[in-house]
Amino acid sequence: MSQEKMEQLLEHATRLFQERGFRATSLEEIAEAIGIQKPSLYHYIASKEELLFLVMSRTIADYNAKLRAIVESDRSPVAKLEQAVRQHITLQLEQPGTVTLFRDTPYLTGDRKEAIRRDLKVYRDLLQTILREGVEAGELDVPDPAVTTLFILGALNFVHRWYRRDGRKTIPEIAGYYADLVRRALVRR
């Protein structure tokens, strides 16, 4: 399989896992989507779980790279926090693979599960860095950055469950609303 076919494999697997879930998606469907026979998949992946891992790894790597760019920017901690919230909502609702990352992690085992957990921790740590910077700069009132990070992610990670493309709010409106709520809750008065 060429690099192009591998890319197609990951794109189609990402879309099918996102739409149908890991358990409901068969390797036959994925192979058919890219125009190959199922046995040909095994030349490139060992199992459906490995494919799930590749999809999740790619998704969380993108999240981490984008959040790291915010953390390393010259913006104020409050501006970084607002941008991080907006970005998280936007990625969650627009980037294929996000729902799979949130929903299907229990289907991973062993080292694969641990690797995704480590990458998710990197994301939490990056967000926590913004909160700590805000406390140090006197901009944020956050007595416990670790718990506050979990609070923020708990609120943000649920949006995909209720969001509808034909709903009354657009993705930018929802992202802005959440960013405003988080800012108002945490900015030092």
Q: Which two tokens stand for residue 90?
A: 């936007």
Q: 81 with 89: CB under 8 angstroms?
A: no
pLDDT value of residue 5? 82
Give this prediction's pTM.
0.91
Question: Rounded mean pLDDT of the chain?
Answer: 94
CB burial of residue 101 (10 Å; 0-12, 13-18, 19+):
buried
Cα gap 40→158, rounded to integer Å: 37
CATH fold of 55-186: Tetracycline Repressor; domain 2 (1.10.357)
Residue 133, pLDDT above cutoff 90: yes
pLDDT confidence bin for 6, thresholds 50/70/90: confident
pLDDT value of residue 161? 87
DSSP 107: G
Average confidence (pLDDT) over 78-95: 96
Q: What is the pLDDT of residues 153-168, one digit of tens each?
A: 999 999 988 999 999 9
Cα gap 30→25, rounded to integer Å: 8
Q: What is the pLDDT of residues 36-77, one digit of tens each?
A: 888 888 888 999 999 999 999 999 999 999 999 999 999 999
Which is more confidently placed, 96 or 85? 85
Q: Which two tokens stand for residue 185?
A: 């809750």
Which is more confidently placed, 175 or 18? 175
Residue 1, pLDDT above cutoff 60: no
pLDDT value of residue 92? 92
- Helices 77-94 and 110-136 pack at an angle, to 10 degrees, of 150
What residue type is 173 in one-letter code?
Answer: E
pLDDT value of residue 4? 84
